[in-house]
């Protein structure tokens, strides 16, 4: 996997997080690992499904599991991070 693809996605999510009042996980190894998981899921399933969500094959239901998923903001507010720990308060 090309490092520049991982870095590009990390920058994309970092910008998204800043625009929404939270941060990308500051632990670079954790962020890179999660992004690599997103890339692998995109290759396997055709979308960047959150690594902490189960892909069922039902496209309508599964679209709610594409990162950043709709649940992440609520999780950050309640727990200080999203379930997979990609985004943090």
Total number of domains constituting the chain: 1
Give me the pLDDT at residue 36, please: 96
The string of pLDDT tens digits covering residues 7-66 is 999 999 999 999 999 999 999 999 999 999 999 999 999 999 998 899 999 999 999 999
Q: CA-CA distances (angstroms) from residue 16 to 8, 22, 27? A: 12, 9, 17
Tokens standing for residue 9: 């996605």
CATH number, domain of 11, equals: 3.90.460.10
pTM equals 0.88
Give me the pLDDT at residue 28, please: 95
What are the residues facing 23 on neighbouring strands?
Answer: 88
What is the Cα–Cα distance from 68 to 73, expressed in whole angstroms? 9
The parent domain of residue 26 ranges over: 3-88
What is the Cα–Cα distance from 31 to 56, expressed in whole angstroms? 25
């Amino acid at each position: 996997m090309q490092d520049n693809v991982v870095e590009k996605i990390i920058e994309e999510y970092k910008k998204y997080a800043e625009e929404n009042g939270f941060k990308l996980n500051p632990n670079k190894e954790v962020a890179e690992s999660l992004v690599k998981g997103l890339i692998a899921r995109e290759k396997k399933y055709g979308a960047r499904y959150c690594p902490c969500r189960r892909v069922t094959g039902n496209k309508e239901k599964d679209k709610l599991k594409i990162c950043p998923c709709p649940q992440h903001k609520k999780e950050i507010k309640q727990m200080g991070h999203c379930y997979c720990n990609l985004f943090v308060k």
